[in-house]
Amino acid sequence: MKSKFNPIDYMLVAYKNYIGNKYELSLRGDNSDITILKLESFCKALVSLMVFKGFNYTLKRCNDKFDIFCDETLIITYDVKTVQNIHSETSLKFQLFCEWGLLQELNIKKKCLVAI
């Protein structure tokens, strides 16, 4: 029997791996160090799924923001506002899923612009 790939579970496991033993604190803490680590782990989880799916995505930190690139084109920039309201695993999964969908849509738009 073939199992189905679940992108939400993949990103959640990736997030937990990146944030490490501060996972529980990331869901209930709001200090700036945890928020930056939370944002970094969030962005890394998104990028890791896109790379797993065959896209050439990279992540670069610029101050307290994270830029996501596809090839050498800036796709999107995330700041701490993205993760400020994530206080449960359910909201984390939902936000990851929404942002993953946005990355896919932005990638399609990038391809259209390159074609023009």
What is the per-residue DSSP string for 47-59? HHHHHHTT--EEE
Confidence class of residue 3 from pLDDT cuts 50, 70 and 90? confident
Does 2 fall in a domain? Answer: no
Does 96 fall in a domain? Answer: yes
pLDDT (0 to 100) of residue 31: 81
| Mean pLDDT lowest among 27-41, 52-66, 82-96 | 27-41
* Contact between residue 83 and residue 38 where contact means Cβ atoms under 8 Å apart: yes
Confidence class of residue 10 from pLDDT cuts 50, 70 and 90? very high
% the chain with pLDDT above 70: 93
* Contact between residue 43 and residue 66 where contact means Cβ atoms under 8 Å apart: yes
Confidence class of residue 73 from pLDDT cuts 50, 70 and 90? confident
| Spatial separation of the C-alpha atoms in residues 91 and 98, rounded to whole Å | 10
Does 64 fall in a domain? Answer: yes
Report the number of distinct structural domains present in the chain: 1
pLDDT in tens, 38-52: 999 999 999 999 999
| More confidently predicted of 72 and 17 | 17
Domain that holds residue 78: 7-115
* Contact between residue 96 and residue 12 where contact means Cβ atoms under 8 Å apart: yes
| More confidently predicted of 115 and 72 | 72
How do 65-70 and 57-62 pair as beta strands?
A: antiparallel
pTM listed for this prediction? 0.89
DSSP state of 79: -
pLDDT (0 to 100) of residue 1: 56
Does 15 fall in a domain? Answer: yes
Does 1 fall in a domain? Answer: no
pLDDT (0 to 100) of residue 46: 97
| Spatial separation of the C-alpha atoms in residues 26 and 112, rounded to whole Å | 37
Does 82 fall in a domain? Answer: yes
